[in-house]
């Protein structure tokens, strides 16, 4: 059924038509009886209504997620509605990107422009006649008026008020024009807009986050003379006949039986105007919950550097959709699960409407922590996500090796297997494919070593290095695996400890290198001194030939460094 064919009725209960038979209790009354703000006992109908003037970002994804979870946690419906009436600012591919990004994040809608539904159409550009019809009803009831002021006059008024440090509001020049005169002027083709005539005392409403909200009448004592002569009368219908957000979202929420509206706190100043329209139409409003804005760790608005860029950029970086959704769910939602590592299904199973007041810090550190947790999970499960990680890493490795001056240490045919091996031993440090490869680049090519931190017992390392080389050379290529290397490591450690132990009645040889010094040398030789997986795993992945060659090269470098130090001291 088309929305324009529905009758305007006053509902005593606010329940979606599919579930109305399940309860006769008003959702508003349910919210009043639930001080802990748990979910309603009946299915909720929620919506995400973006404008295709930009791409999905962290804030809009959070809005979509909270509405999605509210619907799914109650067995209700999540509706996607596109508010595409701002033709001047519309981005050509924003709508198609919106569908793709929401699906990538796992937020599938039950009704929407692409799949239809019983309350369509789901694009505002296809519902224009419905908005115009209801704007006319507001005109007839005296709750709205035509404004014939030119754009030049409105701009001049705004500039003058800005100079005086006052809000950019309208002065109601056209509010007292009689309906007969307004009809005559509009019939002659004079351009106009339709404004809502906001009352001095805004309706009071209950917000799930901020409680009772209402704007009291402004008195002479609390307002300047200039402020008294201005009014926050929002535009409902533009000169092109298309609606603004204020009218369209109220009409659509009513006709689509939306029960809950969860949105950012920046829309809170507009809510009293929307509530007034509900009262003017004699409709029951949905339940509102306004959640805080997202800020960086310095309490500033998020910048692109701080992950506020569109979701597609995060996807390209290699952020897991499950990690991103988990991350976004923590923005202003208060839970008691004992962990912040929560899958989408667990979010559905445990979600409620307990939101925190105030703005929320969005730190990239938290996202990367969750990214590492999901990487470990995917590697342990060895499912499709694991296969996808290996493919991305292989692509990154190929590109990285093309940009390196020296040849790779392995043929391309072995690249995928080695990528997988490194991922299995170092998933705990996985953030993005690029960063993971940079961290572990020494597994794929010969990298410059960090500067060796010289010590007083460096000259004693010579014997220990000889011990390392002789023991590892004894391992055949067929035996070169973690189990065999562990036995060699244990044997070398025992030998070093025995050498460092004093005989009875003698003193400890302070010049003998300790086990930690030998291990530091070995990491310096194999990895250039950079952090990474444990040495046994590192040598197993590098292989016998590369490992032995790097130990030999490092020993030569250390010998040359010792000679330089000796010459300087002389």
Determine the Cα–Cα distance for residues 42 and 24; give it in Å rounded to an integer: 10
* CA distance readout (Å), 298 to 258, 328, 447: 36, 19, 37
Three-state DSSP at 408 gives coil
Determine the Cα–Cα distance for residues 325 and 62; give it in Å rounded to an integer: 8
- Cβ(383)–Cβ(353) below 8 Å: no
Within 10 angstroms of residue 238's Cβ, the number of other Cβ atoms is 15
Q: At what angle do helices 535-542 and 544-569 cross, to 10 degrees?
A: 120
- Cβ(111)–Cβ(80) below 8 Å: yes
**Does 462 participate in catalysis according to the annotation?**
no
Nearest to 558 by CA among 476, 464, 445, 477: 464
Q: Where are the alpha helices (DSSP H) in 256-332?
A: 271-281, 311-317, 321-329
Joined together, the tokens standing for residue 376 give 């470990």
Contacts of 168 (CB under 8 A, 6+ apart): 158, 161, 162
Handedness of CA 70, 74, 75, 76 (dihedral sign): negative
How many residues can be counted in the chain? 570
Nearest to 106 by CA among 309, 339, 326, 335: 326
Within 10 angstroms of residue 376's Cβ, the number of other Cβ atoms is 14
Determine the Cα–Cα distance for residues 17 and 39; give it in Å rounded to an integer: 19
Q: Which residue has the tokens 């020494």?
A: 442
Candidate list 304, 357, 473, 486, residue with the active-site label: 304
* Active-site annotation, residues: 304
């Amino acid at each position: 059924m088309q929305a324009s064919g529905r009758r305007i009725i006053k509902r005593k209960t606010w329940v979606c038509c599919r579930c109305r038979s399940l309860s006769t209790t008003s959702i508003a009354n349910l919210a009043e009886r639930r001080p802990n703000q748990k979910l309603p006992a009946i299915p909720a109908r929620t919506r995400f209504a973006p404008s295709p003037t930009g791409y999905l970002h962290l804030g809009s994804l959070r809005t979509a997620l909270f509405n999605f979870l509210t619907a799914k946690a109650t067995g209700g419906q999540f509706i996607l509605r596109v508010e595409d009436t701002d033709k001047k600012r519309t981005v050509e591919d924003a709508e198609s990107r919106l569908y793709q990004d929401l699906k990538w994040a796992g937020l599938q809608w039950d009704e929407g422009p692409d799949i239809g539904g019983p309350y369509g159409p789901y694009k505002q550009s296809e519902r224009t006649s419905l908005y115009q019809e209801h704007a006319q009803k507001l005109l007839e009831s005296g709750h709205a008026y035509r404004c014939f002021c030119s754009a030049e006059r409105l701009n001049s008024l705004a500039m003058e008020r800005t100079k005086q440090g006052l809000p950019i509001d309208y002065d109601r020049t056209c509010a007292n024009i009689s309906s007969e005169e307004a009809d005559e002027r509009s019939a002659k083709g004079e351009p106009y807009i339709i404004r809502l005539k906001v009352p001095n005392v805004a309706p009071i409403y209950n917000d799930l986050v901020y409680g009772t909200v209402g704007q009291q009448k402004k008195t002479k004592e609390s307002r300047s003379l200039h402020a008294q002569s201005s009014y926050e009368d929002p535009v409902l219908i533009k000169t092109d006949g298309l609606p603004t957000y204020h009218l369209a979202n109220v009409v659509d929420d009513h006709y689509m039986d939306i029960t809950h509206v969860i949105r950012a706190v920046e829309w809170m100043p507009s809510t009293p105007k929307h509530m007034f329209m509900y009262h003017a139409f004699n409709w029951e409003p949905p339940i509102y919950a306004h959640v805080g804005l997202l800020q960086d760790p310095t309490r500033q608005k998020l910048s692109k550097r701080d992950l506020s860029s569109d979701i597609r950029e995060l996807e390209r970086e290699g952020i897991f959709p499950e990690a991103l959704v988990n991350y976004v769910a923590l923005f202003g939602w208060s839970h008691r699960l004992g962990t912040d590592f929560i899958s989408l299904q667990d979010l559905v199973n445990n979600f409620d409407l307990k939101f925190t007041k105030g703005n929320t810090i969005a730190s990239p550190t938290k996202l990367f922590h969750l990214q590492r947790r999901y990487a470990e999970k995917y590697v342990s499960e060895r499912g499709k996500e694991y296969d996808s990680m290996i493919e991305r890493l292989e692509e990154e490795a190929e590109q990285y090796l093309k940009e390196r001056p020296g040849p790779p240490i392995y043929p391309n045919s072995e690249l995928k297997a080695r990528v997988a091996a490194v991922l299995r031993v170092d998933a705990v440090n996985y953030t993005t494919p690029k960063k993971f490869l940079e961290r572990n680049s020494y597994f794929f090519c010969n990298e410059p070593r960090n500067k060796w931190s010289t010590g007083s017992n460096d000259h004693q390392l010579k014997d220990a290095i000889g011990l390392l080389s002789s023991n590892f050379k004894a391992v055949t290529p067929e035996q070169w695996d973690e189990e065999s290397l562990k036995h060699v490591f244990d044997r070398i450690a025992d030998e070093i400890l025995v050498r460092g132990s004093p005989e009875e009645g003698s003193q400890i040889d302070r010049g003998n290198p300790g086990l930690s010094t030998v291990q530091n040398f070995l990491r310096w030789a194999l990895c250039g001194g950079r952090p990474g997986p444990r040495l046994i795993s590192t040598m197993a992945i590098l292989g016998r030939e590369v490992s032995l060659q790097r130990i030999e090269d490092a020993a030569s470098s250390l010998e040359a460094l010792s000679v330089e130090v000796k010459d300087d001291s002389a």
